[in-house]
Structure formats: C-alpha cells, structure tokens
Structure 1
C-alpha cells in the first residue's frame, strides 16, 4: 500500500512538471505610444539559369539595432528573424501561430508571439504588431536558411546588410511596410511604408471593399522569361502586367460551380471597377472600390456562395473585345486574371488562365448561423509575376452551439 502511494505521488509530480514546462508564460514588454506595423517581404524572385547569382531573399529584420565596438549587431528593440518570402494570402488573423513546425515566417509579426494591435473601429488588427512610434532605424540583414537565431550566428554571417534606413511612425497609426525590388535590371531594393486608413473610413458592413497596387520592379514585364519564375500556378500573371491596367469585376453566383463560364450576378459580368498604375515608391493609399455583399439573387441575407473574378486589361481591352485565348498564359502583360473562390487552392474546370486566391467573403460559424457570410476589406498587390491578397475583417459574434 505504501509503495502504491509513493508511485501515485511520483506520477502526480511528473504531471505537475509537464504542466510547468508546457505552460511557459510569455513576458511582453509594454510599449508606450505604440505604432502598429505589419511587414511583408516581396522579394519573390527565384534562382533560375538567368538569376542564379541572386542571393536567397531570407532575412532578419531589426528595428533600432544595437552594435558593439566593431559594428557587429548584438541585439535590437524589435527582431523579426527567419523572415521569408510572403505567402499569396495574408488572412485577417495571425493564422501562423501554433500551426507551423517551420521557423520560416512569411510576414511580421506572423508567427512571432508579440504584443499586437488592439481592435480599431471594430477591425481585428491582431496581424499587426505593436512597435515603438517615432523615428526608427530599421535593418534587413541577409541570413543563412538554417535554424540558428540571427544573434547566435557567426560574426561574418551577420554583416550582409540589404537595407539600413530610418522610418517614421506615428503613435496609434496603422502601417504596412513592404520590402521590394525597385528595379529589375539594376537589382535596386528599397522599402515602401504605407499608412493605412481603412479603420478611419465610414465603411459599410454590407459592402465588400478592395483596393489595388502594382508594386512591380521597373523593367520586370519587359525582361526575358528565363529570368522569371516559371511556376505554372501564376498563369497569366507570370510575365507581369503593363504599367497601366484597367480592372474589371465579375461576380459568380455559386462557388460550388468551378467555372468562369458559370452564371454571373446580373450587372456584374466584366464591370469596370478602377485602374492601377505601376508605382513602387508612393506611400499613398489607393482608393477602395466596393461591391454588395448580398448582390446575388440566391442569397438569403445570412449566407452567400458568391465568388469574384478580376480581369486586368491594358486600356482599350475588356472582356467584350479580348483577342487572347482563355488558356494563354503569355499575354505579354496585356491581360491577367485572378479568381477568388473557396480557399484559393482549387482549379477551375473550365479552360482558364487565371491564378487563384481565396474568396473575399468570409464564411464562419457566428451566433446561431453556421455558416454566416461577412464582408471584408481587401488589398490586391501585384509584385512582378505574382499577385497577393491581404484581408481585414471586423470582429463577429462567437458561435452559439
């Protein structure tokens, strides 16, 4: 009996030890007068026969770094290590935390367990990190693609600096920072800091908003195809788009029908929305355009299966006079298509040259409805041969079971 009690006691001690180890408390440093920052690495080039000498765009980001007497980086106020190329889709919540076994971080804060921005005007800003406001020195240093933290690397591996500059952030303002290739020929790189305004606008819950940017490098669209990413999933965006493009929207009734020849919502087949001009230096926020959340005749006001297709055409072309075949990927930058449906990881059954991104409409269990559809605020950004989507949404009621 005594031995049995000892065994039980030892077992309880083991369980307690595991609980202590598994429940490590994260200590956050309070930031007075913070700014809210989200950072993307848009250096999406790959090693091809024509670009085999380009360095792998894998970094450590350091804000207000500290140096020793020899100039070696010894620390920083903010560190974003293992900073990899961005994903095609940036969701409205930090989906990377706890869901990945890789150290590679497709954005900052991304997987970093840091203080995040509060809700502003009802918008969930948990994908933005709190950082100091004011004048900040920011450094992007190349690092090897291994599992060693940047500050523990050998000295000679911490001295390859791509960007070392100063940015200015206002207190309680929301910023998106882009690391970009400015010129495809000269390989010039730089930053683009955008002060966002979506949380300050009188946006309707019954409209879906989107704005557009072309932040491609100068000379990319004219460059030889051998220098570009040959990923077939990029389809008509692979070669890039021209300097100025008009954007047209088609809304489809049912994302259960994977065809761009399926029925569209009346009034939304190739509807002109806006234009986008290549610019990777201006910090101005592009105006938002919108479409109704409940545009489909099949909606019940709670849930809709509608999906979106955006056609980018050079001025003078549209869906009525497009001479390019629907399966042609090499459009010489005159036409590109993105389809937004389901999780963006499906293919259409119809012959199509459109790349894929997730649906802009969020369908989740909320209240008594499973699912319920919510409108969002979106940004579509073209960078060289890729198109990226960032989605922001308001907080919604938790599910009732």
Structure 2
C-alpha cells in the first residue's frame, strides 16, 4: 500500500477523532494586546427584574448600516458574559465548557494572542489593531445564536460606542463598568499595564488593588444588592477609602484567621485603595516574599495570604467584626487567597475566597514547585476578583 496514502488516512482519522478544525488567523500588523472584562453584574431582585441582562457582543472597528446597526467588524467578541471571580494566568476557558458564554475576551475565542513579553505569558491577551480604533458593545439575547445571525430587531441595542487609542506592543486591560449605582451610568475604563516593564523579583509575589464599584453602591439599600453568603463581607460593599492589611498563614489546610501566621506578617499594613472608575491610572504594586516561612525549602511553600480592608483608623488588632455580621457599614471586608479557591467559607470567618497568589505546579523535576506571580485584586459592587499573571516557567520533567 502506498505509504503516503496510509499517512493521509491516519491524519484524517486523527483529525476526525479529535474534532480539530483548522483555524485561519488574520495577521495583525503592529498589534496591541487587549483583555476585556464585563464587570456589569446583574442581581435578580424585585427592583431589577425588568433591567436588561448585561450579555454582550463586542466589536472592534465595526461596520454599521445607515441605522447604526453593526453588520460586520474587524474583530468580534461574542457572548461576553459577566466575568469569573478568577482570571488565571493562561487561557483556561478554551475547551473547558460546552457553553458559548465567555467570561472575558479573548477567553474562549480562538484568536492570535500576545507573546512572552519580558518573561511574562500574555496568552490571555488578544492581538488587536493599534492606533485609533472604534469599540462597541451591543446587548444581545442570552442564547447560543451568533450575533450576526440574530433577527435585526435584536441587534440594534448599543450600550457603548466609543473610540480608544492603542499603542503597538503595549498591554491593555479594558473594563466595562457601572460608574454610578444610582443613575446606572455605564462606561469603559482602559488601563495600560506596566507589570512587564517593572524590575520585579522572582522571589516576591506582587499585587495591586482597585475599587471599581459604582458610586453610591455601599450606601445603597441592601435589597438592591446580591444576597450571596459566598461574597461574605464584600456583599454589601466597602467604603471609598480603605487601607489593606496583609497576613501570611503557614498552612493551606487550615482556613481560619486564627491559624498560625508567618512571624512578622500578622495584620501588616500593605496598601491603600480608593474608589476610582474615571481615571485609568495603574495603582502601585505591593509585594511579599514567597519564602517568608521558615518551613519553606526554596522549592515549595504552603503559605497563603489574607487581605483585610479597613477604613482609616481601624486595623486587624482593633477589628470588632471577625465573628459578627457581614453587614458592618462598609468599614471592613476580607479575602482569603489559598489553594484553588473552590473552598466553602467557614461561617465564623466572614472572608471571601479566591485562589492563592502563589502558583504550585510541576516544573522541571520538582512537583510541585512554587512560583511568584503578579496579581490584581479588584472590588466591584460587592464582588471581589483576582487576575493572576505568571512568568514563563520550565516545563515538567517526568
């Protein structure tokens, strides 16, 4: 039998068995790198039952007809749903769910992504055209029909239509936000990231903080907010000016604020965060050493951080809310960052749960090895989100 024929048959079988489809990528000259989050959370209450569900199609450089309805676009990000609590350092959403709903852009989209830049993995950022670009967000029904196959009357409701300027080879994160909780005014916030330009140490974990809640959220009546015990102390909101305190705990198997802490890291002042949805300034990064614990061996560590946010004048030592109600007037919120975040919170802890800022993964001959990361923690209308960025690491050796 002809060898070439056998090879072709085998290839076709593998393609059919794996369901692989060849993807034709459009090459972008002098691209910028963009990641987009939909922070417009919707809450099913009596007062919001008639509100539009913030489920979108995003267009970059759209072509519109005479009525302003988009008919095509240079880049389309469809089925853009509200973001997940955790945005990992790699495009983990691809192939993990049969749902078309996308928790971010590019997320599940099979598009050209960013490179390794100064050692940082930018595969969660999409390549997009640089220069002056038009960006549009259109409401769409929460179904599985692609936007351009919808009936025309379902394609005319535009939430945002604006222009932005993107510099080639720069890294951007865009947030779709509710800027005023009372008036429901929305907009976008485009942040030009700088983490890849900073002289960051491999032995330090970095994190910065943002409060991007709508103006007036924490003051609003509780009936207008999501009543979800997993949001813990965050669910009713936090005040507009908060100090952040860091505690480092020794053991990821003990989820309790009374557990053993690393000496020198119990309620240590760490950062300040102020409400801001108008200016795209990058907030300063604060850091802690990944080998702070004496039980660490320089390869792996079991420590995990907890962040307590207090109004100025309060701190961990004076906190009266540890064992009380989560409703504390916006004066205190707290988040534990450990394991993979899939942990049911303890009722006496009042802390939300997110994954650890330290990544433990098989690398080289070490399984696991601990790696430091660069992180952003964002508070938006009673929810807290973590975005993690990781340097490239050596693949495992089996």
TM-score range, shorter chain: over 0.9
- Name the counterpart of 1:62: 59
Contact 1:45/1:228, CA 8 A, preserved across alignment: no
Contact 2:205/2:289, CA 8 A, preserved across alignment: yes
Q: TM-score, normalised by structure 2?
A: 0.96
- Which stretch shows the higher mean deviation, 362-371 or 344-353? 344-353
For residues 217 and 292 of structure 2, the distance between their equivalents in structure 1, rounded to whole angstroms, comes to: 37
1:270-324 alpha-carbon deviations (Å, 9 max, x no partner): 0001110001011110000000010011100100000010000001111111222
Measure how far apart 1:398 and its partner are: 0.4
Give the root-mean-square deviation of aligned CA atoms: 1.6
1:80 corresponds, among 77, 81, 89, to 77
- Name the counterpart of 2:367: 370
- Name the counterpart of 2:323: 326
1:219 corresponds, among 204, 216, 219, to 216
For residues 225 and 51 of structure 1, the distance between their equivalents in structure 2, rounded to whole angstroms, comes to: 13
Measure how far apart 1:347 and its partner are: 3.0
Measure how far apart 1:331 and its partner are: 1.2
- Name the counterpart of 1:315: 312
> Quick one: structure 1 residues 301 and 154, their matched pair in 2 at CA, closer, same or farther if it must change by over 3 Å?
same
Contact 1:364/1:370, CA 8 A, preserved across alignment: yes
For residues 288 and 133 of structure 1, the distance between their equivalents in structure 2, rounded to whole angstroms, comes to: 27
Contact 2:345/2:352, CA 8 A, preserved across alignment: no
- Name the counterpart of 2:193: 196
> Quick one: structure 1 residues 350 and 144, their matched pair in 2 at CA, closer, same or farther if it must change by over 3 Å?
closer
Q: TM-score, normalised by structure 1?
A: 0.95
Structure 1, unmatched stretches of 5+, are: 6-10
Measure how far apart 1:19 and its partner are: 4.0
- Name the counterpart of 2:149: 152
Measure how far apart 1:17 and its partner are: 5.2
Contact 1:60/1:142, CA 8 A, preserved across alignment: yes
Verify: 1:271 aligned to 2:268, yes or no: yes
- Name the counterpart of 1:169: 166
For residues 142 and 90 of structure 2, the distance between their equivalents in structure 1, rounded to whole angstroms, comes to: 26
1:118-162 alpha-carbon deviations (Å, 9 max, x no partner): 011000010000000011111100000011000110000000000
- Name the counterpart of 1:184: 181
Structure 2, unmatched stretches of 5+, are: none
- Name the counterpart of 2:351: 354
- Which stretch shows the higher mean deviation, 333-342 or 67-76? 67-76
Measure how far apart 1:204 and its partner are: 0.2
> Quick one: structure 1 residues 13 and 398, their matched pair in 2 at CA, closer, same or farther if it must change by over 3 Å?
closer
For residues 249 and 283 of structure 1, the distance between their equivalents in structure 2, rounded to whole angstroms, comes to: 25
Secondary structure of 1:226's partner?
helix
Paired positions, count: 392
> Quick one: structure 1 residues 363 and 158, their matched pair in 2 at CA, closer, same or farther if it must change by over 3 Å?
same
Contact 1:261/1:350, CA 8 A, preserved across alignment: no
Measure how far apart 1:68 and its partner are: 2.8
- Name the counterpart of 1:103: 100
Verify: 1:286 aligned to 2:283, yes or no: yes
Verify: 1:339 aligned to 2:336, yes or no: yes
1:212-241 alpha-carbon deviations (Å, 9 max, x no partner): 000100010110001011111001000110
Measure how far apart 1:47 and its partner are: 2.1
For residues 13 and 34 of structure 1, the distance between their equivalents in structure 2, rounded to whole angstroms, comes to: 36
Secondary structure of 2:120's partner?
coil
For residues 346 and 35 of structure 2, the distance between their equivalents in structure 1, rounded to whole angstroms, comes to: 36
For residues 368 and 97 of structure 1, the distance between their equivalents in structure 2, rounded to whole angstroms, comes to: 28
Measure how far apart 1:98 and its partner are: 1.0
1:337-390 alpha-carbon deviations (Å, 9 max, x no partner): 000011111135572100000000000000000000000000000001001000
Larger Rg: 1
> Quick one: structure 1 residues 274 and 13, their matched pair in 2 at CA, closer, same or farther if it must change by over 3 Å?
closer
- Name the counterpart of 2:376: 379
Contact 2:322/2:348, CA 8 A, preserved across alignment: no
Secondary structure of 1:115's partner?
coil
